[in-house]
Structure 1
Amino acid sequence: MSNLLVLNPRECEGKTWHPPVDLDFASSHALLPLHGRELARAAASMPLALIQGAKGWQLVGVCGLAQGHNLFIREGKWLGSYRPEWLSTWPFEIVTQGDRGAVAFDRDSGLEDEHGAGEPFFDDQGEMYPAVSSRVETLKASFTRHRATQKALNALAEAEVLTPWPESLRESASISIEGLYMIDERALAELGDEAFLALRKAQALPIAYALNLSLTQTHLLARLARINPGHVAAPENLDDMFDGDDDEFSFDFDS
């Protein structure tokens, strides 16, 4: 579990950090988290998949052929046409308790300056410095989209339309990453009217369609592996669907 520093003036007093200068921090992340608002651009840029983790199902962009190497990042620069939002918010994340949330800094990121020579999180008036506030605003804006995405993924799982990537697909693309899931199109087509309507109400259908359509992008991974091999051997507008959520949620930066 991450060693987190909750973001408020009291907890952050006297502490400083160094904003990342490039994307090297994600060069070993072959899977990057996404939310539903990113579907259209991400699906046209990389294969998408669902994975099951400690917090349930998660939508991810598949950015590598094997764990430990992100093919889209070379010398700290992003090579793809769409850059996942998560890259612009790290090393901050949202932690929740009940209906309240707080933003926290990952102290295991290596960016905290224990000698106080970095940038402060807050100024003397308790206001966030720009490098912090820009990340916090992005996190807050995307939070409801992630929650809506989670509801949609839960609905897909309950409808029993998830299936592992075919072994033939993984072999043809030389992908060794385990635990990638897609939509069973036959199971989706055979759903009864009530079950199908439930997926539509949960805004799960855009994810279902985008997931399988994105699999044509697996060829891009092989092309990237040739120009950025690392240690790996080379081998409708959906943006508005997750624009908001009716659930109320508040963030606390004062306590």
Structure 2
Amino acid sequence: MSQPLVLIPKECHGKTWHPPQDLAFAQHRALVPLHAGELAKAAAAMPLAVVKDGREWRLVGVCGLESGHNLFIRQGQWLGHYRPEWLASWPFEIVSVGEKGLVAFDRDSGLLDDGGAGEPFFDDQGQMTEAVATRVEALKVAYRKQQTTHKALKALASAGVLTPWPETLRDQLGLSIEGLHMVDEKALSQLDDEAFLSLRKAQALPIAYALNLSIPQTHLLARLARLNPAQPQVDTPENLDSFFEGDEELSFDFGN
């Protein structure tokens, strides 16, 4: 992986970029980054999980049953009712350097143009162009929410209430992605007052509840696996709303 291009006039001189034409860039991302500000809409549209990334816990939307295939993206288009914010800002990103975050561009995106045939990052006065500035502002807002999310997830981990997805659920789905976690509701209910209050102060409780409330959305993964297999075999229904209506073919009991 190459070093990201830091967005400062000196680094970007002579370079341009091409906006992505569709969402094909994420069709291999079975796990899509989310932040706590997206909980309400995301939890109603896809299953959510917490995964360990190095020393950090991260909130993700589970968009596939196997690594390398996003079931929600077909022919570059998003099939679900809610589209995660991360998709709108790529290939721009914020890279953490110590306590600071630097806005950068993904050199490996295939959208960087050293020949100057694309759109400039900065104008002649050294100001970000409108297209870049809009994405950067959205990134900054999302970054602050991500920082809050990371602290909340750290609190959940410290409280010992994170648990892997049940094997019964994984087996029913045919899920091969490892490391997906939810909240152990029994462990959460048995926390003492001090520990529970610490989760509330860390704004971790909304995440805890949303994680588990989103689990029934796994039925969408089973349905999408038929609509959007790794090797396309069927046409997309004209009425996707009817396709995403709930069904009872999958049911899970987390009480045991």
* 8 Å Cα contact 2:164/2:182 also seen in 1: yes
Determine the structure 2 residue equivalent to 1:226: 226
Other structure's SS at 2:60 match: strand
Determine the structure 1 residue equivalent to 2:67: 67
Determine the structure 2 residue equivalent to 1:250: none
User: What percent identity do the matched residue pairs reach?
Assistant: 67
Q: Within the alignment, does 1:136 sit opposite 2:149 as a pair?
A: no
Q: Which whole-Å CA distance do the structure 2 matches of 1:110 and 1:97 have between them? A: 24
Q: Which moved more, 1:51-60 or 1:35-44?
A: 51-60
Q: Which whole-Å CA distance do the structure 2 matches of 1:42 and 1:233 have between them? A: 28
Counterpart code for 2:73: I
Q: After the TM superposition, which residues 180-199 of structure 1 pair with which residues of structure 2 at under 5 Å, given as runs?
A: 180-199=180-199
* 8 Å Cα contact 2:58/2:150 also seen in 1: yes
* 8 Å Cα contact 1:69/1:232 also seen in 2: no
Determine the structure 1 residue equivalent to 2:168: 168
Other structure's SS at 2:214 match: helix
Determine the structure 1 residue equivalent to 2:100: 100
* 8 Å Cα contact 1:30/1:69 also seen in 2: yes
Other structure's SS at 1:32 match: strand
Q: Which whole-Å CA distance do the structure 1 matches of 2:205 and 2:33 have between them? A: 19
Determine the structure 2 residue equivalent to 1:116: 116
* 8 Å Cα contact 1:225/1:232 also seen in 2: no
* 8 Å Cα contact 1:225/1:233 also seen in 2: no
Q: After the TM superposition, which residues 29-108 of structure 1 pair with which residues of structure 2 at under 5 Å, given as runs?
A: 29-108=29-108
Q: List per-residue Cα deviations over 1:117-157 (Å, max 9, x = no partner).
A: 11111110111122211110110111111000000000000
Q: Which consecutive unaligned segments of at least 5 residues does structure 1 have?
A: 235-255
Q: List per-residue Cα deviations over 1:144-180 (Å, max 9, x = no partner).
A: 1100000000000000001000110011112111110
Q: After the TM superposition, which residues 17-28 of structure 1 pair with which residues of structure 2 at under 5 Å, given as runs?
A: 17-28=17-28
Runs of 4+, deviation exceeding 6 Å: none
Q: How much has 1:98 moved relative to structure 2?
A: 3.8
Other structure's SS at 1:37 match: helix
Determine the structure 2 residue equivalent to 1:240: none
Counterpart code for 1:197: L
Determine the structure 2 residue equivalent to 1:152: 152
Going from structure 1 to structure 2, the CA distance change for 1:61 and 1:2 (only over 3 Å counts) comes to farther
Other structure's SS at 2:95 match: strand
Q: How much has 1:68 moved relative to structure 2?
A: 0.5
Q: Which whole-Å CA distance do the structure 2 matches of 1:87 and 1:184 have between them? A: 30
* 8 Å Cα contact 2:155/2:202 also seen in 1: yes
* 8 Å Cα contact 2:27/2:73 also seen in 1: yes
* 8 Å Cα contact 2:14/2:115 also seen in 1: no
Number of residue pairs aligned between Structure 1 and Structure 2: 234
Determine the structure 2 residue equivalent to 1:15: 15
Q: How much has 1:55 moved relative to structure 2?
A: 4.7
Normalised to the residue count of structure 1, the TM-score between the two structures is 0.88
Going from structure 1 to structure 2, the CA distance change for 1:177 and 1:98 (only over 3 Å counts) comes to closer
Q: Which moved more, 1:96-105 or 1:205-214?
A: 96-105
* 8 Å Cα contact 1:164/1:180 also seen in 2: yes
Normalised to the residue count of structure 2, the TM-score between the two structures is 0.88
* 8 Å Cα contact 1:35/1:59 also seen in 2: yes
Counterpart code for 1:51: V
Q: List per-residue Cα deviations over 1:26-64 (Å, max 9, x = no partner).
A: 000000000000001000000000000125100000000
Determine the structure 1 residue equivalent to 2:250: none
